[in-house]
Structures are given as C-alpha cells and as structure tokens.
Structure 1
Amino acid sequence: MAISLSDSRVLIVDDNEFNRKSLALVIRRAGITQIAFAENGAEGLKAVESFRPDLVLLDVDMPVMNGLEMCEALRRNATHEQLPVLFQTAFDSDQEQVRCFEAGGSDFISKPIKPGECVARVRHQLEKRKLFTDLAAYRARVERELAHARAMQHSLLPEGRRLQSVAERYGLVLEAHFETSSELGGDFWGVYPLDDRRVGFLIIDFAGHGITAAINTFRLHTLIDRFPMQDAAPSQWLMQLNGALKDVLPTGQFATAFFGILDLTTDTLTYAAAGSPNPVLGVGGDIRLLDSAGLVLGASRHARYTDHSHRLPRGGFLFLYSDALIECGGANGLGPLGQDAVPDFVRSAVEANRAHPLTPMKERFYARTHLPLRDDLTAVWIARRA
C-alpha cells in the first residue's frame, strides 16, 4: 500500500525558471501539491526556515550560493541534519556524485530529468522520511509513557521521608537501593508499621523484568491491603497473598518473596519465605544466610509456608536483596557474586562503612558488573541501633 504524500512539502532550488516549473510539474505526479521555490542557495536557506519542507530538490550549479554550499549549511544546523536533499546535476560522473554525498546529499538525479526516475526518487525519500518521522514520534510517545509508568512504580516504594519516620519510630537504620534493568521492573519492597513494637518488611521479585513484570508489581500493590498483617503470622500472610496472586497472574508467571516481622519487645525476627535469595542476618560477629526455601508465589494454590524465628537484638542487622545481586556480573573478568559469597560481601562492607554499609556494597557490586543490568536490583539494609 502506497503512502500518501498529499501533505508532503517540497522545496525546489534552481536558478533556471524552466527547470523549476518542469520539476514542479513532474513531482505533482506523485500527489505532491505543496511546493515552494528558490533561485539560489541563500534564498533556499531562508525558504527552508519559513516553508519547512520535507524534501529539498537542489541544483548544484547556481549563483550567489551553489547547491553544495547550501547543503553543507543545512547539515551544520541540527534541525536540518536529517532533511532529505536530492541533488540534480548535469554531471553524472563518479567524482560529481562523491561531491554531492560529501556535502550531505541524500541522493541525486541527473539532468536532463527523467520524469519516472525523478518521481521514484522523490517518493522514496519522502516515504522514508515519513516512516522515520512516525517512528520517532512513536518512540517519543513510548518513552513518555514509560517515564510516567516508571514514576508510578517508584511511587509504590517507600520514599525517603517515610523511611526516616519509620526508622526513628522503631530505632532502626533503614537504607534501600532500587534499580531496574530497563525502564520498568518487577521488584517490589515495603516496610509496614504494625503497632508500637512490631514492624514488617516485605521484598518480592517477579519473574522477568520490563513491562510484564512491572504490571505484576501494580497487581501486587492492589492486593497487599486486602490482607491485614497485624494479626497474621508471616507464613499465613504469604499463603493468603499466594492465593490472590494465583488468581491474577498469567500462567507461567510467579514471584519470590520474603516477609518478616521484627518484634522489638522480644528482639525476635519471625519470617516466612517463598524461594527468595537468602537474606543475611548479622548478630554480633555472626553473619550468616537465613533459610528462604519455599514454593514461589503464584505457582500453586496449595502452597504452604513455614515460619522461622531468630534473635535480632540491638546492634544486629538484616540485609534483603533481589537475585540481581548474586546473578549479575561479567565486568573486569569477574563472574557473578553467587549466593555463598554474600556473607563475606556484607562483612567487608560493614568493615568499610559500619554506619552505611550499603554504600560500599553498591560500589563493589557495580565494579564487577556489566551495565546495563540484566535484571532488576533491590537491596534493603535494616539495622537496629545499638
């Protein structure tokens, strides 16, 4: 199906009036009616600014400013870098063609003008410009929409002031890092004050990344409030969430999860997990991985989860992260960090910056990782103040 060129604008720049009229007559055969004229390169540059053509038919040999000079001036202007310029020249030697292309020409036609060839080349340049313009407009629209969606996704995560408020209320240090591998991602995390002595922490990683995974985080956000956390054990709450996700997730999509409740009165962390990367618990000098086995969310309606309890007194910490931390690598000849290396990774970060260990962790992770990331990265540092 031919593309309509009825709204295309063509500027003919030629010092010969007969040539201008002849070219106009020829290109009207392509359905082009919006045509402007100029007699030399200087007039042509002014006409480009006022007429805003989609194509310039440009003679090479003209007084005042020739076609090569005009084309070079156009290419120096970022606005007209991609404007199609179709040279017309009486010399069809290889040297002349090279001069036209070096000046920035898109194509050329030889004089005397062959009407069929002229129409075909004009149509080709204008159709190509339309396709690129439409593609650029589509890309710009998609980028705007993705930027809005990205902002919406970030709005689901705890913002700085809320983290600070929760940290002060419960005597914690809370820091987090969130980065998607593309415009959108499938990671989610949250902090949930339950009462004056208990606070909950949730981290979820949906399979894949990009738009599909991001849509699942929005689905998740609508489900969380359906199931109060105050009166449910972590295992029971995950079981309820799993059933709800099973109803809304397409077949083959799932999520890993960790949900824990910290009780400040008893210095106890109680949690349940659904196949998440092993969290790191640090108490005194003991830094170790926690068991996070469990069937992923959304895979089976009959999944059951187990509660685990560990002491987390003042001065202790909990480190949660998504699998990008242990699976992304490749820079400087280094492979992925791997699960077993995480305790030492955390230990060295604590030794480097005890107050804010997430900073050296990020530095060391990115030093060994190819960018852009192949998966979404979330890292959450939860420490009880001594």
Structure 2
Amino acid sequence: MADAAPSCASTSDGRRSMTMSLADCRVLIVDDNAFNRKSLALVIRRAGITEVAFAGDGAEGLRTVDDFRPDLVLLDVDMPVMDGLEMCRTLRRNATHEELPVLFQTALDSDEEQVRCFDAGGSDFISKPIKPGECVARVRHQLEKRKLFTDLASFRARVERELSHARAMQHSLLPEGRRLTAVAERYGLVLDAHFETSSELGGDFWGVYPLDDRRVGFLIVDFAGHGITAAINTFRLHTLIDRFPMQHMAPSQWLTQLNGALKDVLPTGQFATAFFGILDLATDTLTFAAAGAPNPVLGVGAELRLLDSAGLVLGASRRARYTDQSHRLPHGGFLFLYSDALIECGGEEHPPIGRDAVPGFVRDALAENRLHPLRPMMERFYARVRQPLSDDLTAVWIARRA
C-alpha cells in the first residue's frame, strides 16, 4: 500500500475531521456467487477503492493473493473447493500474509460462527445480507489500521537502521582491538576492556593515549543518563580531546581545561564523571585526577584498595579545579577502571555489588584467571544482574606485566 494522503470530511455537527484516502488500496473479493461479488465491489468503491480483484473459491483466492497482493480480503465462509475458513488458515501459515486483514462475510450471525471466523485468523466479519454502511465502515477501519501499522513498521525499521549506524560510529570512537594490542606490547601491559550500552546508544567513553616512550594515559568518562542524548555528548567529548594535548599537562590541568570546554557545549543539567591517569613506566608511578568517577581498584602485590576519585563532575561549574594524586604501580600491579553500572545494577535475587565489595569482586576473578580476570569478572556480573542493563557499562583492566 502506498502512502495515503489524508482528506477532510465533515461530521454531523459541522466539524472537520481527517480521513485517509484509500484510492491506492487493493481489495480482493472471494465469493462463489457472482452477484455477491458484483454487489460488494459496488459497495466498497463508495470508499474510494478502485483496485478490486475477484476469486470464486478459496483455492483461486490463494493464487490471486500471490498475484494481486491485496491490502484486504473480503472472504465468504461457505464456498466449494476450499471454504473461506481453510483459505484464511492457509494465509496465516504464510509469514508474508500473517498481518493481511481478512474480513469474513457470513449469513450465520451467531457467537459460534464468529468464534469460528476468529479462530481461523479472521480480522473481523460482516453479516449477510450486506449492509452497505457497515461494510464500508469496517473495510475502511481495517485498511486505515493496516496503513498505520505499515507506517509504524517502516518508521521503526528506519530508526533501527539509523541507530545501528550511530552505534557503529560510537564504537569507532573506542580503542579497537589491534590498537590495544599494539599499546600493550609497546608498554609491557595487559589491556582488556568491556563496553556495553543499556540501549542502542550510551554515554560511556574510554580511551588510551600513548604520550611518549615511557608514559601512557588512560581516560574513562561517564555522561549522565544514557541513550541518544548521552551518546551525542560522547561525540562532543571526542572532538574536544584533540584540542588539549596531554603530553605536557598534569592530569589535573588537563581535566580542568576539558571541564571548561564541556561547560561551554553541554546543555544545562548535563554533566559527566571522569578519571584521567598517566602511567609513568620509568618511575613506576600512576598520577591521576578525577571528577566524581567510581573508585578505581589499585592492586600492588597482595594489596587491593579503592582509590579516592572524588571531585566535581565535568560540565557543572567553570570554577571547578582538580587535584593530582600519585601512587606506585610497579611490574605485576594493576588498575581496574569501571563505570557505575558495575556497582549499581542488580537483579531479582542479587542486590547491586556496591562500591566496597569491588576489591573482593576483583580478587575472586584474579583467583580464577590471573592474567585476564576481566572475563570471569564480567561473567559473574552478568550472572547476577537483570538484563538489559539499566545503565551503560564500561570496564577496563590495565596491568603491568610481571
């Protein structure tokens, strides 16, 4: 059915209402009585329908459906060769015709007959002898409903395609596997990451930035909310990062500049948490600044502890200032970064993990896979949470090789 333009009609009290043109609709009439076929055709043409095809029984009707591609079938119940009920059941077994409106016409106006028609897959029915006004109203109702559903399905398919393209674009902002492998080899690291949005698009972002032969930077940002608005902010962030070179700034200075730039572009009420750290391999030192991010886990030897990642969120105030912290991160040590979905998402049988339990969560995963604990960590997480997630999840494992 092509797009049908609405037209105006007058109601009984003089008001104007919108009706949908059905001029491009196709109707198939299946009836073994030639007079009935002719009478029905005259009636439905009153609704502006000009494309009408005919069949004398169910078997012929099935062949005509495939050739004519109707938007609605007016179907008699009692016919030779194949009756209307069997024809309708056959149509419904074909995925192509599952939603095709079928309007039964029957002389038996009883509850049992109506149940038979609906059980066979009918959309509605009209009683014989045909009442022209009722027939036109029911035909119009079914065709307009089909038109609306078709438009809705088309719109949904287009939105899904566009969201799929946008999702691919958002994933392209993140470090790809080959780049992570190259950075890990260059700096003697183990790098694993997990990224999942709660809907098609999300507000999480993370990146790894080689600064020179001995220093590498790590950034994780979580914008408030999720979905399209939060995703747009990740694209804004990506364009801003290149404006502020990291090589010659302390993490606190860099976050301060990024905060000012985000304050200029983020709508009122939108903000982001962030963690930016620089690992210096020559001095075995991790220096970082944070803006209200979830507390990372630092592991050195047998000790696992949460780092202080307090700070005013990005984009909230131009006067925000950030401070640097430094911690020793030698060979064999690790840093675990994550967004708040890890500690805030729960399930029906399990409450959220919570901040204080994260070190133990990490320790259990290390006992299962010392080299790549992120994998068992995510398996345990998804085993206890309700899906789809209520928030976007990012988890990044950064370990120095022993």
- What TM-score do the two structures reach when normalised by structure 2? 0.95
Shift of residue 319, structure 1, vs aligned partner: 0.2
Shift of residue 363, structure 1, vs aligned partner: 1.1
Q: Quote the residue 1:20 is aligned against.
A: 37
Shift of residue 313, structure 1, vs aligned partner: 0.5
Q: Quote the residue 2:197 is aligned against.
A: 180
Shift of residue 93, structure 1, vs aligned partner: 1.3
Q: How does 1:68-79 map to 2 (within 5 A)?
A: 68-79=85-96
Q: Quote the residue 1:130 is aligned against.
A: 147
Shift of residue 6, structure 1, vs aligned partner: 1.2
Q: Quote the residue 2:401 is aligned against.
A: 385
2:326 equivalent among 309, 322, 335? 309
What amino acid is the match of 1:173? Answer: V
- What TM-score do the two structures reach when normalised by structure 1? 0.99
Matched, 1:363 2:354: no
Q: Quote the residue 2:52 is aligned against.
A: 35
Q: Percent identity?
A: 85
Matched, 1:227 2:244: yes
- Deviation track 1:63-120 (CA, whole Å, cap 9, x = no partner) reads 1111111001001111101100000011111111111111111100011100000000
Distance 1:24 1:241 in 2: 70
Shift of residue 339, structure 1, vs aligned partner: 0.4
Matched, 1:5 2:22: yes
What amino acid is the match of 1:343? Answer: P
Shift of residue 17, structure 1, vs aligned partner: 1.0
Q: Quote the residue 1:375 is aligned against.
A: 391
Q: Alignment partner of 1:380: what SS?
A: strand
Shift of residue 7, structure 1, vs aligned partner: 1.1
- Deviation track 1:262-309 (CA, whole Å, cap 9, x = no partner) reads 000000000000000000000011100001010000000110000000
Distance 1:179 1:359 in 2: 14
Which runs of no fewer than 5 residues in structure 2 stay unpaired?
1-17
Distance 1:4 1:78 in 2: 27
- Deviation track 1:239-275 (CA, whole Å, cap 9, x = no partner) reads 1100110011000000000000000000000000000
Matched, 1:93 2:103: no
Q: CA RMSD in A?
A: 0.6
Which runs of no fewer than 5 residues in structure 1 stay unpaired?
none
Distance 1:310 1:301 in 2: 28
1:319 equivalent among 325, 336, 360? 336
Distance 1:190 1:233 in 2: 17
Matched, 1:300 2:317: yes
Q: Quote the residue 1:342 is aligned against.
A: 358
Aligned length: 385
1:330 equivalent among 338, 342, 347? 347
Give 4+ residue runs of structure 1 displaced > 3 Å after superposition: none
Distance 2:391 2:332 in 1: 32
1:237 equivalent among 222, 242, 254? 254
Distance 2:100 2:250 in 1: 65
